[in-house]
Each structure stands twice: as structure tokens, then as C-alpha cells.
């Protein structure tokens, strides 16, 4: 992929992505639960599956390398501050 197209997927890849298929299964569970005389469990699990697919989409779009680099930077700053406080107490 070139830098201009980095992160862009084709329409078919977007339609058949894991998140989309999981969301469609969740919608199917909800519809089946409502059509079959409001089956509580099917409807409940359908909504859980739909929410899970959106959570999966959010997790996959997050830049985890940048996140962990930031967490490492914060940890190192905290350790340096704690070491400085220990030195001041001595």
C-alpha cells in the first residue's frame, strides 16, 4: 500500500470484515428474537453481539503502538519523579 492509501479498504473488504459479519449476526438474533414472539434471550444476546462488534471496531481502529509508547513515557516520567523524591528525602 502507498502512504496515500494506507488504512483504506475496498468496499468488499469493508462489507465482509469481521466486525460487519458479527454485527449482522447480532441483528439477525435480535430480529429472530422479536419475530419469534419476543424471545428475551435471543434479543438480549443479539444486542450484546451488536455492542461487541462496535467495541471490536473501536479496538481495531485504535493505534496501539502509539498508545503503549505513551504509557511507557508516562511510566518512565513517574519513576523518574519517584526517584527524585527519594533522593530529596535522603
Residues 12, 5: Cα–Cα separation, whole Å: 16
> What confidence tens digit (pLDDT) does each residue in 4-39 have?
455 577 777 766 778 888 999 999 999 998 898 888
Q: Is 12 left (phi over 0), alpha (psi -120 to 50) or beta?
A: alpha
Can you give the pLDDT at residue 29?
A: 92
Amino acid at each position: 500500500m502507498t502512504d496515500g492509501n494506507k488504512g483504506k479498504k475496498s468496499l468488499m473488504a469493508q462489507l465482509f470484515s469481521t466486525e460487519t459479519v458479527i454485527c449482522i449476526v447480532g441483528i439477525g438474533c435480535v430480529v429472530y428474537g422479536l419475530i419469534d414472539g419476543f424471545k428475551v434471550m435471543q434479543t438480549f444476546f443479539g444486542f450484546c453481539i451488536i455492542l461487541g462488534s462496535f467495541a471490536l471496531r473501536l479496538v481495531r481502529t485504535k493505534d496501539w503502538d502509539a498508545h503503549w509508547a505513551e504509557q511507557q513515557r508516562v511510566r518512565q516520567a513517574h519513576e523518574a519523579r519517584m526517584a527524585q523524591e527519594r533522593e530529596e528525602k535522603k
